[in-house]
Structure formats: C-alpha cells, structure tokens
Chain A
Amino acid sequence: MDRNKYSIVGIGYTPQGKVPGRSAASFYLEASMNAINDAGLKKDDIDGLILYRDFPILNGDAFHHTGNVITYSLGIRPKFLSQEAYCYRTNINKAIGAIENGTCKYVLIVFAESGRTGRRTWTDEIDLFSSKPYDEYGAYGNISAFTNYAMFASRAMHEHGTGPDLWAEIAVAHRKWANLNPNAIQYSKPLTKEDYMATPFLSWPFRALDATASTDGGRAIIITTTERARQLKNPPIMIRGYGSANDTSKGWQLTPGDPASSAAIAGREAFEMAGLGTKDIGAAQIYDCYTYTVEATLGDYGFFEKEKSRDFMTVENIGPGGAFPVNTGGGLLSEGYYMGLTPICEAVMQISQRCGDRQLGVIPGTKLPEFMIVSDNGGFYQSNETLILERGK
C-alpha cells in the first residue's frame, strides 16, 4: 500500500447515549447518510459498504442489521459488501483492497447499535447467540470479555508494575476529555481518581470504570483515493501509515508485552510505511475498550518502556493540556462505544479542526499534531489495525 494514496473523506455521527425508541438499523442509516453528506457525496456514489460485526437482534429491530438490510434501506447497490461475523479488525484493509483492485471508488464503513436501551448486547449474546451453555468456558464461569481483559491486565500488574492506581489515571484522563466534548455520553459527569478507587471490583483487578459501556447510536466513515478526495469539500485525511495483525491466543492466554502482539506488529508496519517514529506522533486515538488496553497498545507501539508506563500514563501527560494527548473525545470509555470508529472519527475531527473546546492547538499549551496514530482492536486484544493519519491538501 502506498503512503498517502488513500484518505478518509467523510464521517457520520448520530445522537448517542440513551436514545429510546430508536432501532439499531435507524442509527446505521443515519450515520451512513451523515457521512455521505459530510463528504459531499450522493448515496449512489457509495459502491462499497463494510459493516462491523453482526450482533443478535436487540429490542427495536426485526432483522439482523446485515449488509443487505442496511443497503436496501439506503437504496444503494454496492459492488462490494462485507460484514464480520465476529470481532476481527480487517475493515480498513478490505476497504482499501476493494478500491485498489478497481472494484470500488467510495467505501463506507459503519457500525451502530441500540445496546443501551435495546437490552445489553453482550448479555443477549450469551442467551441467544449460542444458546446455553455459552461455550466451553461457560461452565467455568468465564462469560464476559471483561474477565478475559482482566486476566491480561492482572498479569501486566506482575510483569510491568501497573495496576488500578494507574488505570484510575487513564479513566480520569478520558473523562476530562469527555467533559470538553458535548457529544460525549459522560460530558456532564466529572470523575476523580478518588471516585474511581471508591467503586467496587467487578472482576478483580478491574472496576466498572475500567470498561466501555454499551450505547445507542452509530458512526460511519468513507474511504477513497486521495486523488478523488481532493475533488471533494473536506480536506483529505490521508492514511500515511497502515498495519494489521492477528494473534491466535485466546483472551485469557495473552502475554502482556509480547513483542509479537497484534498491536506491536501492526504498529511497526504502520510506522515503517509512514516513514515515521514515535517521536513524530503528536497525539493518539487508541481503541480503549478497557483502561489497560490503552496502556498495552501505546506500550506495544513503543511510546514508553513497559515498566515505565506509570510515568507516561498520567492525567497530566495524556489528558487535556498534556504533552501527548490520547483519546481527545473521551474515547470508548467516556465518549461512546462505536468500536474502531470512535478513535478514527475523533482523529478526523481533530485533524480537520472541528473539535471546539477540545481542539488541539486551541487548548493552551497544545499544538495541532502533524501526525496522529489510531488503533482499532478486536477480540481480546487479538486483532489490530493501526493507522497513522495526516492532513492532506
């Protein structure tokens, strides 16, 4: 893949948080149309459509929100249509592949759900997706992603000296960003480290505040060539670096600091393609399903030595006004859970200077980064796509 050959040209948001009376399908359609309008395209221009993973049907929908259901209501007939059955992250790879091989010109990637009011998505999955018993681990009492990530984080406490006091810093930094973002679900809810420490462990060593929460809403992006992007109304947000990798370990088998982790490999590939190093990166939008995921990803990217995460992952460094801004919209933890589209859309928002009170370069002591690193990861830290983005002309 050539450096800066592909760009993100449009992003789509919807109302989010607790939005009763709306189906997941309605958020898919609203986010998609908003991205199409943002790019200045017509819906018929979209010739490739990629959906994040399928979920069981929640309250408010009559069908799985599969590619054909969404494209029918969008009234388009894309040449390329794809949806993961599970949590692997190959969406950008597929989008670019479909353009590179000549099939598509404009590929839309979308995710939406109604998990806040339509019933909790993941619990529903245990009941309906596989029927009881859930899988081999159900009998052991391991039925949540939360438990698997807690296993990964627990070992990192021993391996790298991290722990709840550091994860409190991460949770608070994300919340402070969210407090500057009127779209964030936690916009009006401040959080202190003391608040964090006062909450109970749900699965030791993790608390509820270590995890993202289900939401209602949707998010979409459109990818095309930078050449085509230059004819459109937004400045192209160019993909300067890209990497992807998939680890085969189970969630509970993961090794913190593994030099062959999917984040480490995808990160190395992205830096190599971009011709850049960690010192060139001015900010990061990291897939933060859990607090520790942010620490693990930035550590695997090489932003700090893993034993020294405590010096890097502070509210002062990664929060508003800090030297290395991370998840400037509040992230999955405090803005809203739209899988990898939360970090990608926030990167586009920042680079195109649409961020209002949280805009880098406007907050005193900060500057607009020339290069931003973005991660999306799936499964239990097993699957990773990494982007290094820069503003095009």
Chain B
Amino acid sequence: MAQVLKVNLPFDLRTSYDNDLFYKTAHDEHKFILPHCKSCGQYFWPGAFICQHCGSNDVEWKEASGHGKIYSHVEGRFPFHKAIKEHLPIAICSVTLDEGPRVFGRLVNYGEIEKVPYDAPVHVVWLQDDEKGCTIMGFELD
C-alpha cells in the first residue's frame, strides 16, 4: 500500500461527481483506482460518463498500480495567489501511468528540481490533509 504523507493543502479539494470516487477511495482506503472501459479495455483519466477512447458507457473503476514514468515537472516558487504563499515551493509533475493515462500530481522528496530525471519510474504517495478531509496524488521517484 502506498505511503501516506500528512500535509496542509492550499485549497479545499473540488471534485466532480464523475471523479469523486477516485479521491474518496484514496482518502478512505489509500487505494489507487482508475476509470477503465469494459468495452475496449483501456484506462482513462479523469473519470467520465463514457470512455474517451471508444465512447462506450460500460465503464468501471479498477484498482491500478500507481506506478508510471515522470513525463514533466515544474517547481512553483511564486505566489500566483496569496493562498499558496506559505506552501511554496510546490513541485508539480505529470506522470504517464503504466496503465496508459497521463495524470497530474505533486512531486515529493525530489531534491533539486533541475536534477529530476525525465521518464524516471515513479510511484504514488498519498498526500492527506486531515483538516480539509481530503487526499491528493503525490509521486516519488522509485
């Protein structure tokens, strides 16, 4: 099971009815699930009423690895909004999951941003905010 880090997030988490189960499952069970199409067999992200690949509405949530490769990363150092000032720097990454979709998360335990390797294997780490009652995706180099 993925590691859980206790954090303070800059904003409450806003989710949609369509993607809510991902975050609820992450928060309650620390499990990584993805939307999966039973018709064409492909995964997608975020959760939606139909499969983005084939358009079928025969979709389900399926437990996934939480592993992938880092596609890109940045390190925010400037408070574009006053609410994030105390949280800086915030590193953000995109990750191409082993299951296919490219997802978005906070990059954690990375050292110097300039030296983080592209395409390096990463795994999910849950970032849990107890006060706000929500959990988001973080990624850490394997």
Contacts and interface: CB of A to CB of B under 8 A. Distances in A.
Does B associate with A?
A: yes
Interface of A: 122-123, 126-127, 132-144, 146-147, 150-152, 154-155, 158, 200-206, 250, 252-253
A99 B140 CA distance: 54
Q: How large is the interface on B (under 10, 10 to 19, 20 to 34, 35 or more residues)?
A: 35 or more
Nearest to B116: A154
B136 A252 contact: no
A132 B12 contact: yes
A206 B122 CA distance: 24
28 contacts: A122-B80, A123-B81, A133-B11, A133-B13, A133-B14, A135-B14, A136-B14, A136-B15, A136-B46, A137-B104, A138-B11, A138-B12, A138-B13, A139-B132, A140-B9, A141-B84, A143-B84, A146-B80, A147-B74, A151-B73, A154-B72, A154-B74, A155-B71, A155-B118, A202-B76, A202-B77, A204-B77, A252-B72
Contacts of B78: 146, 202-203
Most buried by A among B13, B46, B80: B80
A258 B94 CA distance: 16
Contacts of A144: 76, 80-81
B13 A147 contact: no
Contacts of A158: 72, 118-119
Nearest to B137: A140
Contacts of B104: 137, 140, 142, 250, 252-253
Given A141-B90, A252-B104, A204 B74 contact: yes
Contacts of B71: 155
Contacts of A135: 14
A204 B107 CA distance: 13
B11 A203 contact: no
A123 B81 CA distance: 6
A218 to B, nearest CB: 25
A132 B114 CA distance: 32
Contacts of A250: 104
B136 A139 contact: yes
Interface in B1-50: 9-16, 19, 46
B94 A151 contact: yes
Given A141-B9, A158-B72, A204-B114, 15 more contacts: A132-B11, A138-B11, A138-B14, A139-B10, A141-B92, A147-B92, A151-B92, A151-B94, A152-B72, A155-B118, A202-B76, A203-B76, A250-B104, A252-B72, A252-B92
B14 A123 contact: no
Contact of A140 (B19, B92, B118): B92
Nearest to A132: B11
Nearest to B87: A141
Contacts of A132: 11-12, 83
Contact of B113 (A126, A134, A139, A204): A204
Nearest to B112: A204
A382 B115 CA distance: 29
B74 A141 contact: no
A163 to B, nearest CB: 10
B106 interface: yes
B11 A134 contact: yes
B99 interface: no
B97 to A, nearest CB: 12
Nearest to B82: A123
Contacts of A147: 74, 76, 80, 92
B64 interface: no
B119 to A, nearest CB: 8
A136 B84 contact: no
